[in-house]
Amino acid sequence: MTYTGGAGRPSGRDSYIPAMSATLPSPMGVRAALVDGVRFAVPTIAGVSRTNTIHDVRAQTLGPVRAAHDGRPGPDCPDPLSARAAPEPGGAPAEAAPPWATVERTGPLALAPWYTPTAELLAGAARRRGMEVVGLPGDGRPPAGLRGRAVHYYGGPGYARRVAAELDLALLEADQDWLTGLPETVTRRRVTAATLAEARRLTRPAFVKPPRDKGFPAAVYPGGGALAEIGLPAGTPVQIAEVVAFTREFRLFLLDGEVRAGSQYATHGVLDARPLAGHPDRAAVLGFTADLLAAHGGTLPSAVVVDVGPVADPVTGSVRGWGVVEANMAWFSSAYAAEPDGVLDTVLRAAGPRAAVAARDRPFVRSRP
């Protein structure tokens, strides 16, 4: 399979899938579901067995995480509650500060109304820390009890646009031209910034995608003519990339220049979620990421998701080396099989109170519409 940076591979965002638990009446082809006490909206899927959709898809998505971690720590994320500092002379051992103690966490975690497996994982991780978890309403009007509080957020950018101002959220994300600004020694392919009009003049196959919000499908297009039907302005920013093959792809949740959690999510473009802990490529993933951050960490917010993997020639299959797939917003990225507490650490920093944003992160705050 040939693709680059997204075509033919699982979405970087969580799919909206039905949740299990009790259902409540809901209009407009959307039903409401309760998951661990949080009310989510779930779209009706015609022609699909609800039981199979609820249990099978949810199990496939959450299974790798539950099987890998099952509430226990992994090598990449030792259990902070079991770690103890050196005992005081003549006294009992002191509890070590958990890793999230340095993360701004003064208020509730607010979840967008559409259910995703990652939202469920984050809700569980937050509750284990004693955090309040609030499901936001579908009408985009946050509960009065959230106003004036230091709220954190997980959910899509479309819904975030409706609530960010009222909740005074600062949403961190990489610059839309971040990938095109990296050298080919890091991307292992040519990636250029262009407009949709320029992409429509392509005479060769290329991978074309929107650099930020997903206004049209990120895919390998046989030529510019295939983009003619996209109903967006000619000046819409796009990225045009050389067609390559990522043999495996890994998602990394980065916080303060370190990998806080990670997971493989695809093999040859097919969903294949596996924990980074114990993975045969773990050392290579961490080594490449350390080099990337040493050279280019200053071009990223302190909390972000970066996807990486081995890049191969689509014709010969020869591997060029490790390369960056793309950067994603941590507050709307699927965890796959990553350790949930590390994911939550990153999300709390990436989407939280505007007043808590550090000076180095201010250039990465998403602009309000």
CATH of the domain at 333: 3.30.470
Structural domain contains residue 206:
yes
Domain that holds residue 254: 246-346
In this structure, are 251 and 339 located in the same domain? yes
In this structure, are 279 and 218 located in the same domain? no
State phi, psi for 83 to the nearest 5 degrees.
-80, 140
In this structure, are 222 and 271 located in the same domain? no
Here the tokens at position 87 are 């005992």
Q: Name the residue type at position 184.
A: E
Contact between 210 and 233 (Cβ < 8 Å):
no
Q: Name the residue type at position 76.
A: D
In this structure, are 200 and 284 located in the same domain? no
In this structure, are 304 and 328 located in the same domain? yes
- pLDDT confidence of residue 12: 54
Give dist(CA 338, CA 64) in Å, integer: 9
In this structure, are 261 and 340 located in the same domain? yes
Structural domain contains residue 306:
yes
Structural domain contains residue 38:
no
Q: What is the pLDDT along the chain (369 residues), one digit of tens a residue?
A: 344 544 344 545 543 332 322 233 333 344 555 555 565 655 443 433 333 333 333 444 555 555 555 444 343 433 322 222 333 344 444 344 444 444 444 599 999 999 999 999 999 999 999 999 999 999 999 999 999 999 999 999 999 999 999 999 999 999 999 999 999 999 999 999 999 999 999 999 999 999 877 789 999 999 999 999 999 999 999 999 999 999 999 999 999 999 999 999 999 999 999 999 999 999 999 999 999 999 999 999 999 999 999 999 999 999 999 999 999 999 999 999 999 999 999 999 999 999 999 999 999 999 875
Ramachandran region, residue 298 (left: φ > 0; alpha: ψ -120 to 50; beta: rest): alpha
Structural domain contains residue 272:
yes
In this structure, are 237 and 266 located in the same domain? no
In this structure, are 287 and 216 located in the same domain? no
In this structure, are 235 and 265 located in the same domain? no
Give dist(CA 267, CA 43) in Å, integer: 29
Here the tokens at position 278 are 């114990």
Structural domain contains residue 27:
no
Contact between 127 and 133 (Cβ < 8 Å):
yes
In this structure, are 207 and 282 located in the same domain? no
Contact between 196 and 235 (Cβ < 8 Å):
yes
Closest CA to 333 of 140, 172, 103: 172
Work out how many domains the chain is built from and give that number.
2
- pLDDT confidence of residue 64: 58
Beta bridge partners of 353: 169
Q: Measuring CA to CA, how many Å separate 338 from each of 224, 234, 262, 345, 346?
A: 37, 38, 5, 12, 12
Structural domain contains residue 144:
no
Give dist(CA 187, CA 225) in Å, integer: 26
In this structure, are 257 and 332 located in the same domain? yes
Structural domain contains residue 114:
no
State phi, psi for 279 to the nearest 5 degrees.
-75, 140
Structural domain contains residue 199:
yes
In this structure, are 270 and 216 located in the same domain? no
